[in-house]
Amino acid sequence: MITLTINDQRLRDLGQLAVWVGRGEEVTAVGGRAVAGFLRDYLFDLDAERANRLGGPRTHFYADAARAVQNPQADGNSVVISINHLGLAQRLFGGTITAGHGISSRTGQLTSLLAVPARAEAYGKTPGEFDDLEFVPTRTGGMLVQALQVQIIRGKRKGEWRDETVGALAMYWLVPEVTQAADPTVLPSGRAMAGCAADAMEDYLDRKFKGS
């Protein structure tokens, strides 16, 4: 969840003017709605531009975030907007995610490794949604692979099938931590948002002064 406070000198000046003419609440509501609409459009556009990195079916992460943009709230001369969406803050600010905070769907214990999709089919799904993954340890953690079905050709079990992980497809890499770089482009700049709010507030006040 991200909550943004948009506040610059032009907004403060317009806010003060609005209060002075008895339209403080209305003008703040207009400024907030302007930013919210601008943010929604920005995130819907990002959704159209940015497909899943690994390909595969779209999860429409940014469209989900766009729909989570919510009602602006008046806070003095600033405009406060929340985006109630899981994951957007991590993309915006980046940082290191470490295992040990969530519960593993496999063991029911605290996670010791994080699962990072290795193939398009794994994107937008959890390892728990697959019933054919096998753990293969590696030097840095491990991987979850979709085991191959190999027919036994000798011995007592000849003709039976067994799971073979050598040469199998890795669906997830398992790592103790992941560090993601901050991506400030997942939101428009503070200046652009403030400008958008101020333009709408100015237009509203202008019309009210002119009586149109």
Partner 1 sequence: MDLILPLPNQEALDSLARRQVMPTRLTTAELRALDASLRSRSFFSAQTMLEDLLDGYKDKITTIINPQQISRPDRVTAENPEGSVNVGLNDAYAREQIKDLLRESGYQPKPDERGTITDLSSDARINLVLQTNKQLAQGEGWWVQGQNAAVLDQWPAQELFRAVDHAKKRDWLDRWRQAGGQTGDPIGTGWTITPDLRMIALKNHDIWNWIGSSELFDDALDVLWPPFAFNSGMDVRDVDRSQAEAIGLMDKGDAAPEPMNIVDALKAFTEKISALAA
Residues contributing to the site for partner 1 (CB under 8 A): 1-7, 23, 25-27, 29-30, 33-34, 37, 40-41, 44, 47-48, 59-60, 63-64, 66-68, 70-71, 73, 80, 82, 84-87, 89-90, 93-96, 98, 101, 105, 124-126, 128-129, 182, 190, 193, 200, 203-204, 207, 212
d(CA 212, CA 207): 5
**Contact predicate 171/118, CB 8 Å:** yes
Nearer to partner 1, 36 or 143 (CB): 36
Cβ neighbour number for residue 165 with a 10 Å cutoff: 16
Backbone dihedral angles phi then psi of residue 54, each to the nearest 5 degrees: -95, 0
Kind plus residue range of the DSSP H or E element containing 78: strand 78-83
Nearer to partner 1, 164 or 190 (CB): 190
Q: How is residue 110 annotated by DSSP?
A: B
CB of 58 to partner 1, least distance (A): 8
Nearer to partner 1, 138 or 209 (CB): 209
Structure tokens, 67: 């729909």
Nearer to partner 1, 156 or 210 (CB): 210
CB of 159 to partner 1, least distance (A): 27
List, in sequence order, every residue forming a beta bridge with 82; answer none if it has no partner: 3
